[in-house]
Amino acid sequence: MTSFRFDKGGLIERQTRLNFSFDGKAMTGHAGDTLASALLANGQLLMGRSFKYHRPRSVVTCGAAEPNALMEIGKGGRLEPNTRATMQELYDGLVAKSQNRWPTLERDFGAITSLASSLFVAGFYYKTFMWPKKFWEAIYEPIIRKAAGLGNLSHEADPDRYEKGYMHCDVLVVGSGPAGLMAALAAARSGARVVVADEHARLGGSIPKEREEIDGRTGTDWAGNVIGELSAMKNVRLMPRTTVFGAYDDAVFGALERVQKDVAEPDHNVPVEKLWRIITKRCVLAAGAEERPIVFGGNDRPGVMTASAMRAFANQYAVAPGRSVAVFTSTDSGCRTALDMKAHGVHVEVILDARKDATKIDTGGVPVMRGALVTDVKGGKHGMSGVEINGHDTIPCQSLAMSGGWSPVVHLACMRGAKPVWNEELSCFMPPAHDPWIIPAGSANGKWRLGDCLADGAAAGSKAAADAGFKAAKVAVPKARDDASHAVSPLWWVKASTGKAFVDYQNDVTSKDLPLAAREGYDHIELAKRYTTSGMATDQGKLGNVNAIGILAEATGKSIAEIGTTTFRPFYTPVSFGALGGQHVGNHFQPVRRSPLHGWAEKLGAAFVETGQWHRSSWFPREGEGWLAAMTREVLNTRKNVGICDVSTLGKIEIKGKDAAEFINRLYSNTFLKLLVGKARYGLMLREDGFVGDDGTTSRLGENHFFMTTTTGHAAQSMRDIEFAQHALWPELDVQYGSVTDEWAQMAVAGPKSRMVLSRVVNADLSNEAFPFLSAREVTVLGHIPGRLFRISFSGELAYELAVPAGFGEAVASAIMHAGQPHGILPYGLEALSSMRVEKGFITHNEINGRHTAGDVGLGKMVSKQKDYIGRMMNEREGLNDPDRMQMVGIRPMDPAKRFRSGAHLVGLNDKPSTATDQGYLSSVAWSPTLNSWIGLGMLKRGRERHGERLIVWDGLREVYLEAEVCNPVFIDPEGEKTHA
Amino acid sequence: MPDTALPVSPLAHVMRQGRFGRTMPEGPGVTLSTVHPCEIASVITAKGKTSALAAALKKDFGVALPGMGQSASARGLMMVGVQPDSWLAVQPGGSNLAARLEDKAGKLAMITSQSHGRTLIRMTGPRARDVLAKGTAVDLHAATFKPGMAAATQIGHVGVTIVCTGADSFDLITLSTFAAGFWDGICELSLEWGYEVR
Amino acid sequence: MATLINCPHCGRRTTDEFYIKGDASKVRPTAVGDGTMDQWHDYVHIRDNVRGRVTEYWHHTGGCRQWLVVERDSMTHEVYGVTPAQKWKPAGTKAAAPAVKAAARKAPAKKAGGKR
């Protein structure tokens, strides 16, 4: 209970009290607090347990890199695990729970792993759980799975909404610190469209966290003024709470805006998070720099944090981790913490400067011990009591600030594959000059002094605006007090540490693990990362990586530049799945296509089925009927009387032009040049590799006017193929075409009485003489509606397809039902349609699956040798004409009531099912109400010469093993008498 | 017999008039409506006939043939360039548009009625651009996407032609079978600024 | 792959508006029949797996529905150019598109009241 809040100071709103709970304990904080600062104010220094050793942990940073203080936030479906307490804004009613502990944070059972820590060194998974082999699945893996991971998910649906969108600008400024604000100002005054994104709720970057003056006033004052100017400009969009998480090709950036993560009950009209794709011309990368911890014994004790974090907690939030402070530094900037803490009235014990030869700087009278190394930290889970120096002396203190140098936040400059560049002088990895559109500025560009950051930002903003095509405006760079030197001499680890020294807090990687990895051969940085897990999980090594690289360099005798970094990839910080899904969930998961006859079918009680994007009427059940009974009734009625079915989903293409016939003739494998006006023809399209691609009918409505249909499922691809043929293959043809799929409602009217019914609706002579099979004609429907009538049949019955403008579809379908009433008309759905087409041996995409030729499916005669067309030559390949190929056959089970399913294999009567004995498969299966039997279409080796043979239908997945007979795939009316009646 | 005087709008079952979403002091951010019936025809020129078509349209309909990504309007007829040699002709409240075009320009272009195949949604209001930016990557900034401009793009994976018809006014022309789902999606994206359906 | 493509008809668009067919370096043979199988085999099946500059057919499905040829670098993702497919001439190939075949033969007029 050493952490506390100052009586005054900070940028919190002390008059606004916010209630929240942590592990069930009621606490209060103020507006402007983060969860982390509020916990510190409540004396709650202990915030979590570490991943592997379950060591007590507190915050070590004040921002996005926080590896320790991960919490479960929220309740029910809103629960979000692994939330960094340093980034979570406090709100009234916030419920937070610590993670990775059982049963409680105070008494954590898992902490015993710490006692056995010698077992848990790098690679322990691979070493410890090797044998006995069978223990892996049964014992080790379940236990490890249970122990691994951080927070828990709620398993409830997330009640909140998320959205995705696009944003465009000329200059994207990432970060709103001194450099970012100056860059934004310079770019905005130049007239560029500017977006400023900052991951924190409060704009200003480091400014509110430090006590620096700018232009003779407080930094926050200055920043407030600049932010005021920017927010008044129409060409500027300020986006606090927005993390730019990824950099992609062509200057496109991904950003996550947390819109309502600061309230307990979000407004449902507004998304809680928005995922933005920001398309820009230039990006000023002013993301700042991350202070590196120092690797020494006990550097993970609650109370130890980076020097900049301690300053930030004190200056912005008016909290401190303890009443007395020591500073352990290898940089000059660490000394600033001593000055700031002193200013807040916190006793500063000593500055332990690891550098023996550090130049003397102002420490406000705080004693400095040069060449002092912290070797251990004394204390317990609720705080520290002192630090051990050089292995013997102990200096009492309640908190320790550490400063091991600075690492520019280079991530966005490296995500397209470029590696950061080690700078020996600055002791840091610098952003690579790779993408011309990324302009680093400020401390992200290795500028440590405030004045340098302001100037660098202004220059970057001007350059960005000029690059984006604007005349750069002049911006005066404000003065900053900045006489402090910023020397750093890196100290990768304190080798004399007596306690455990952590490199990667989140993954519990210690200073011993990396040399061990190197000794065991994992000395490449990418291998060492995976062997030790250093740099993994939610913080991705933001704090620890450079120290890890430094230690690995020492262990291998290489330079840091030679070791290099691991690969930077999006996301910079975790992004919720909700945001990635955006609005595309539930009903909006994918576009829904609704047939113009949907409402008509709905009124008749249709059950709908999703087929791709379409919702198609599948069957029309009566009271108590299942799909099979309904479908059976529909088929029998259609074959006996008349049925009506929605076929609007077919792809429909209008084709005109001088070369229309020639064009169509090159698309289909059969000939179309001689098709008569007023006639329809079934056509087969091959793919260029010779296999069947699609089928459909094309009707000639005029000399140069055609109407083509494609299958429902392949409509989009066929349209693209047709466009390819015209744009890329035969642009010289004078042909125009366009999809009219949505323009027409199309219905099949089938059955022996269909002519009688349709004659009452359509004003045309439908007699067999006037309108024989495969006729196509424009007609008038119900006296005034223009329609198109085709005599084609997918059911094997006397049948027509009638197309009318979509908006009249329901009316016409209802009129047909009305006219058909005396003849017993019933609607039929997709199930009945499928059954009837299997009964007739018509193919669909079950057979047109990319593996079968026209010859395989019995349509070999439709492949012309007299012309060129798509697939013409490849269809002649030897292998595609092998007599041993599978050919389409009918399959009937010997026991007609025994059901088999498509996908089942066909094997010989006495064969054991295997790949060697496999002779084919069932492609389509249906219950045939006409034959009172399950029937199937199958692809069988040399099938056409095997009608009458018996074989086995084997379905290993469903444990089906049935005897069946091979037969003609046209199960009923093979002569087509009914169709032509 | 059912009434067949008027075609059914693909939005008939999803459109509800009224105010929805967040209540904003300055009023709804977006106002949505549909134009139904609306005569729409696609016009695709025959090889080398573009200038002849432009002349015919100018002479008989008074409207210019705009370039790709542009629109032109005259006497209630709007032509929108959606493909290099392809336009949508749009005439709210007209009749027999395709037939009239066929009559004057049938030899120069393939004229196909799309009055039923396309659905026109009208979106106006100060937040219209923001709503559309949640769906399309086209830069809709007022300085970039000005009245008269058009873009064939996608919103929520549904193809849509966006025509800027005024400062904050847009005509959204989409395929009719997608229209209902598209409408639902647009409404949802409008919730945060409040919307009114007229 | 690039994130933005400059469609010559529509301007700058995101790649998710496009459908990618693949290699555009091959020209469809104009001859069919005996002795042409090798050309066809090459056209349909033979592809280089190029690290560097590639040409591909892209279809602007979510925009102007035009087929385009995108020249890009498979390594750096740089896009060098986007050309309408109609104007595309693969490097090192005969530029001419296949000559127009015999124009569509006239369809026989429909016989009035045809009997069958």
DSSP 8-state class, residue A53: T
User: Where residue A932 sits, what CATH number does that domain have?
Assistant: 2.40.30.110
Amino acid at A412: L
How close is the nearest chain C Cα to the Cα of B86, in Å? 9
Number of helices (H) and strands (E) in chain B: give both, helices first. 4, 12
pLDDT at position A512 is 93
Domain boundary among A715, A740, A765: A740
Residue in A closest to C58 by C-alpha: A724
Q: How far is C-alpha A465 from the geometric centre of its chain's CA atoms?
A: 32
Nearest to C62 among B69, B83, B153 (CB): B153
Shared domain for A282 and A170, answered yes or no, is yes
Would strands B30-35 and B195-197 be described as parallel, antiparallel, or unpaired?
Answer: parallel
pLDDT at position C99 is 38
Distance CA A206, CA A312 (A): 8
Residue A476 lies in a domain: no
Residues A868-898: tens digit of each pLDDT: 999 999 999 999 999 999 999 999 999 999 9
CB atoms B83 and C9 under 8 Å: yes
Would strands A213-214 and A194-197 be described as parallel, antiparallel, or unpaired?
Answer: unpaired
Share of chain C above pLDDT 70, in %: 78
Whether A877 has its CB under 8 Å from any CB of chain C: the answer is yes
Shared domain for A842 and A939, answered yes or no, is no
CB atoms B4 and A808 under 8 Å: yes
CB atoms C10 and B153 under 8 Å: yes
Whether A678 has its CB under 8 Å from any CB of chain C: the answer is yes
**C-alpha pair distances (Å), A308 with each of A304, A388, A481, A535:** 12, 22, 18, 21
Residue in A closest to C56 by C-alpha: A728
pLDDT band for position A845 (50/70/90)? very high
Residues A788-821: tens digit of each pLDDT: 999 999 999 999 999 999 999 999 999 999 999 9
Please say if the pLDDT value at position B145 is more than 70.
yes
Residue A153 lies in a domain: no
Whether C4 has its CB under 8 Å from any CB of chain A: the answer is yes
pLDDT at position C106 is 44
Domain boundary among A693, A718, A740: A740
Whether A425 has its CB under 8 Å from any CB of chain C: the answer is no
Shared domain for A892 and A954, answered yes or no, is yes
Per CB-CB distance under 8 Å, the chain B contacts of A614 are: 177
Residues A253-262: tens digit of each pLDDT: 999 999 999 9
User: Where residue A297 sits, what CATH number does that domain have?
Assistant: 3.50.50.60
Residues A651-677: tens digit of each pLDDT: 999 999 999 999 999 999 999 999 999
pLDDT band for position C102 (50/70/90)? very low
Please say if the pLDDT value at position A828 is more than 50.
yes
Chain B from 83 to 142: CB within 8 A of any A CB: 86, 109-110, 112-118, 133-137, 139, 141
Please say if the pLDDT value at position C111 is more than 80.
no
Mean pLDDT of A56-60: 96
Would strands A194-197 and A799-805 be described as parallel, antiparallel, or unpaired?
Answer: unpaired
Shared domain for A11 and A49, answered yes or no, is yes
More confident residue, A115 or A50: A50
pLDDT at position A1 is 65
pLDDT band for position A120 (50/70/90)? low
Residue A67 lies in a domain: yes
Residues A747-778: tens digit of each pLDDT: 999 999 999 999 999 999 999 999 999 999 99
Shared domain for A759 and A820, answered yes or no, is yes
Please say if the pLDDT value at position A848 is more than 70.
yes
Shared domain for A275 and A294, answered yes or no, is no
User: Where residue A42 sits, what CATH number does that domain have?
Assistant: 3.10.20.440
Chain C from 12 to 31: CB within 8 A of any A CB: 12, 14, 19, 21, 24, 28-30
pLDDT, averaged across chain B = 96
Scanning the structure block, which residue is given the tokens 């069930």? A24
Phi-psi label, residue A120: left if phi above 0, alpha if psi -120 to 50, beta otherwise: alpha
Which chains touch C (3+ CB pairs under 8 A)?
A, B
pLDDT band for position A150 (50/70/90)? confident
pLDDT at position A153 is 86
What are the domain boundaries of chain B?
26-36+117-197, 39-113
Residues A261-303: tens digit of each pLDDT: 999 999 999 999 999 999 999 999 999 999 999 999 999 999 9
> Cβ contacts of residue C47 below 8 Å, gap of 6+?
C22, C23
| CATH fold of B26-36+117-197 | Gyrase A; domain 2 (3.30.1360)
Shared domain for A735 and A690, answered yes or no, is yes
Chain B interface with C: residues with Cβ < 8 Å: 68-69, 82-84, 137-139, 151-154, 157, 159
pLDDT at position A903 is 96
pLDDT band for position A487 (50/70/90)? confident
Q: Tell me the β-bridge partners of A352.
A: A328, A369
Q: A8-17, A48-57, C35-44: which has the minimum mean pLDDT?
A: A48-57
Residue A909 lies in a domain: yes
Residue A612 lies in a domain: yes
Please say if the pLDDT value at position A109 is more than 80.
no
pLDDT at position A149 is 62
pLDDT band for position A167 (50/70/90)? very high
Residue in C closest to B82 by C-alpha: C64
pLDDT at position A143 is 67
pLDDT at position A649 is 97
ipTM of the complex: 0.97
Q: Where are the alpha helices (DSSP H) in A154-269?
A: 178-189, 219-231
Q: 3-state DSSP call for residue A665? A: helix
Shared domain for A259 and A380, answered yes or no, is no
Shared domain for A395 and A522, answered yes or no, is yes
- A–B interface: beta-carbon pairs under 8 A: 158
Nearest to B46 among A268, A599, A657 (CB): A657
Shared domain for A720 and A759, answered yes or no, is no
Please say if the pLDDT value at position C100 is more than 80.
no
Residue A480 lies in a domain: no
Distance CA A342, CA A364 (A): 8
Residues A326-355: tens digit of each pLDDT: 999 999 889 999 999 999 999 999 999 999
Shared domain for A14 and A89, answered yes or no, is yes
Domain range spanning residue A75? Answer: 4-113
Whether A168 has its CB under 8 Å from any CB of chain C: the answer is no
Distance CA A337, CA A327 (A): 8
Distance CA A669, CA A869 (A): 6
Q: 3-state DSSP call for residue B115? A: coil
**CATH number, span B39-113:** 3.30.70.1520
Mean pLDDT of A8-23: 97
Nearest to B68 among C9, C12, C13 (CB): C9
Mean pLDDT of A421-446: 96
How close is the nearest chain B Cα to the Cα of A981, in Å? 29
- Which tokens is A448 given? 């440590």
Residue A477 lies in a domain: no
Domain count for chain A, please give it: 6
pLDDT at position C91 is 74
What are the structural domains, with CATH classification, of chain C?
4-87 (3.30.2270.10)
pLDDT, averaged across chain A = 94
pLDDT band for position C104 (50/70/90)? very low
Residues A705-722: tens digit of each pLDDT: 999 999 999 999 999 999
Mean pLDDT of C7-35: 95
Shared domain for A219 and A318, answered yes or no, is no
Nearest to C110 among A252, A677, A724 (CB): A677
**Interface test with chain C among A873, A878, A880, A979, by most C beta carbons within 10 Å:** A873
- Which tokens is A450 given? 């405030």
Please say if the pLDDT value at position C105 is more than 80.
no
User: Where residue A675 sits, what CATH number does that domain have?
Assistant: 3.30.70.1400
If we measure between CA atoms, which residue out of C50, C52, C49, C56 comes closest to residue C78? C52
Same topology, domains B26-36+117-197 and B39-113? Answer is no
If we measure between CA atoms, which residue out of A861, A723, A870 comes closest to residue C32? A870
CB atoms A592 and B178 under 8 Å: yes
Distance CA A937, CA A924 (A): 5
Helix H or strand E encompassing A614: strand A614-619
How close is the nearest chain B Cα to the Cα of C15, in Å? 10
